[in-house]
Amino acid sequence: MQLKQVIIAYKARDSQSKRWAEICAKQLESRDCQVLMGPSGPKDNPYPVFLASAGQPIDLAIVLGGDGTVLTSARHLAPVGIPILGVNVGGHLGFLTESVEEFQDTEQVWDRLFEDRYAVQRRMMLQATVFEGHRTNLEPVSERYLGLNEFCVKPASADRMITSILEMEIDGEVVDQYVGDGLIVSTPTGSTGYTVSANGPIMHDGMEAITITPICPMSLSSRPLVLPAGSVVSIWPLGDYDLSTKLWMDGVLATSIWPGHRVDIRMADCLAKFIVLRENNSYYQTLREKLLWAGTRVRYTDNHKN
């Protein structure tokens, strides 16, 4: 990999990730690499400035923070094909990031990147667009939104808990009406996020598929669905007299929707690219470590395997 121009995004208002960013920038600049650096957070979005300021193609994005910081970077960088090296500095679970232990010797990391001693993992994303009126109306009334984890249609209110009524179509065919807290439409990457908290299935992040998971439905027959990646999921809000229904992308508000609107969610035409430094990278090891599986609470000998 050539490292002629690199962007570094660190978790806003986190002193540890900022310190790491400054160390990385200094080391890369000493290797004749141009660096663009800035904070990323709910009130800080450096990516439009990064992309507009780049005088040459950006070779790599180093993202220092937790999963939320990495999700933001993927939504902005996947459409332009910039690979992301995420490092869990100041984050929590860190499903999408390299551990900070893998990143301790940063000079060695740069050597490995220069010498192409790394892997690139490509992950499916979703895109959502809002339409108005009948299905024959193909003119969107919103921009295109991208999500690496999931899209969620659910109401939001400052003073009460609102039950939503949502009608869902798959490839133009009505499947069900859901009464409850909302619907999650997820990628395999997002299956270990909000989806798993709502009792949705866990899917290997190397797959291409779409999961639909109801949030606290008022019907015991409302179950999660796993769809082929080429499916188009359409969601219509019904009976929303308070006009409180929102479309959320990766936990961030995308836009408000109301009766008469239709949200179409499908596989995006771009993939998020992640740099993997771990030599023995294992999805199942990640599940064991992050979800505390496989004997983390009960210790026993494995003589039965001999």
How far is 186 from 207, CA to CA, in rounded Å? 12
Which residue has 């993992």 as its token pair? 121
With both helix axes pointing from N to C terminus, report the angle between 106-114 and 15-30 in degrees, rounded to the nearest 10. 50
Other CB atoms within 10 A of residue 163 CB: 13
How far is Cα 199 from Cα 216, in angstroms, rounded to an integer? Answer: 9
Residues 6+ apart with CB under 8 A from 122: 271, 272, 273, 274
Q: Which of 67, 176, 181, 205 is catalytic?
A: 67
258 sits in the region (left: phi over 0; alpha: psi -120 to 50; else beta) called beta
DSSP-derived 3-state class of residue 273: strand
With tokens 């779409």, the residue in question is: 210
Q: Listing from the earlier edge strand, what are the strands of the sheet with 225-228? A: 225-228, 209-215, 182-186, 150-155, 245-249, 252-256
- Say whether 240 is catalytic: no
* Distance from C-alpha of 41 to C-alpha of 279, rounded to nearest angstrom: 30
CB 247 within 8 A of CB 257: yes
- Residues with catalytic roles: 67
